[in-house]
């Protein structure tokens, strides 16, 4: 990856444009809310507008001046605008109502963001396991006499031998 490629990517890739958008958290949160359980699924305009209206109401709740003052329809139009087409808008067979679905770039972004969240948990869990193992070893080494440690190790050996025989 060279400088020019990365500059071009920053300017033209939809996922990176969304990451840099002023309303990144609102937009991404909405897409996650609506499309997380319906990955790859398309929604009719009436359904997505209803969900977006509810979502905006929830975000604006508790503020004197709304953080997101535009209408749901206005934001939906922004999501499908030529310069920031995060959603693909099309008409189904014999239907007058538009249908919306995530573009592949935005689906990848949501998957990546979900992966970041899960990865932190896995990393934390593995670190806790390491800490617990080290604490057990430390307690074993410092709190027992030599005879007690030998007895404990022999008991572990016997348990391991039984597991081997069971296999």
pLDDT at 87: 92
Nearest-CA neighbor of 49 among 30, 28, 21? 30
The structural domain count of the chain equals 1
Long-range (24+ apart) CB contacts under 8 A made by 25-29 are: 26/59, 26/67, 26/68, 27/79, 27/86, 28/109, 28/110, 28/113, 29/55
Beta-carbon count within 10 A of 19 CB: 14
Backbone angles phi, psi at 71, to 5 degrees: -75, 160
22 vs 129, which has greater pLDDT?
A: 22
Residue 154 binned pLDDT confidence (cut-offs 50, 70, 90): confident
Average the pLDDT over 9-28 and give the result.
Answer: 89
79 touches 70 (CB < 8 A) = no
Domain span at residue 90?
A: 1-167
- 3-state DSSP of 124-145: HHHHHHHHHHHHHHHHHHHHCC
pLDDT tens digits along 50-107:
999 999 999 999 888 889 999 999 999 999 886 778 999 999 888 899 999 999 899 9
pLDDT at 129: 81
pLDDT at 121: 58
What DSSP designation does 21 have? S
Rounded CA separation 2/118 (Å): 30
Average the pLDDT over 129-153 and give the result.
Answer: 77
pLDDT at 30: 94
Average the pLDDT over 152-164 and give the result.
Answer: 87
Average the pLDDT over 30-36 and give the result.
Answer: 89
pLDDT tens digits along 97-140:
999 999 989 999 998 888 887 655 556 777 788 888 888 777 76
pLDDT at 26: 95
Say how many CA atoms lie within 13 Å of 39 toward its Cβ: 10
pLDDT at 71: 94
43 touches 50 (CB < 8 A) = no
């Amino acid at each position: 990856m060279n400088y020019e490629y990365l500059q071009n990517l920053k300017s033209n890739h939809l996922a990176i444009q969304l990451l840099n958008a002023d309303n990144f958290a609102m937009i991404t949160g909405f897409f996650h809310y609506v499309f997380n359980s319906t990955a790859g699924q398309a929604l009719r305009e009436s359904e997505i507008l209803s969900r977006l209206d509810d979502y905006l109401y929830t975000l604006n709740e508790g503020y004197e001046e709304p953080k997101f003052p535009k209408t749901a329809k206005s934001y939906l139009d922004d999501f499908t605008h030529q310069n920031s087409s995060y959603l693909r808008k099309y008409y189904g067979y014999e239907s007058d109502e538009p249908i919306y679905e995530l573009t592949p770039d935005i689906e990848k972004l949501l998957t990546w963001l979900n992966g970041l969240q899960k990865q932190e948990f896995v990393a934390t869990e593995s670190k806790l396991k390491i800490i617990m193992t080290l604490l057990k070893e430390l307690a074993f080494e410092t709190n027992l006499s030599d005879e007690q440690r030998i007895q404990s190790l022999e008991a572990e050996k016997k348990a391991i031998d039984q597991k081997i025989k069971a296999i």
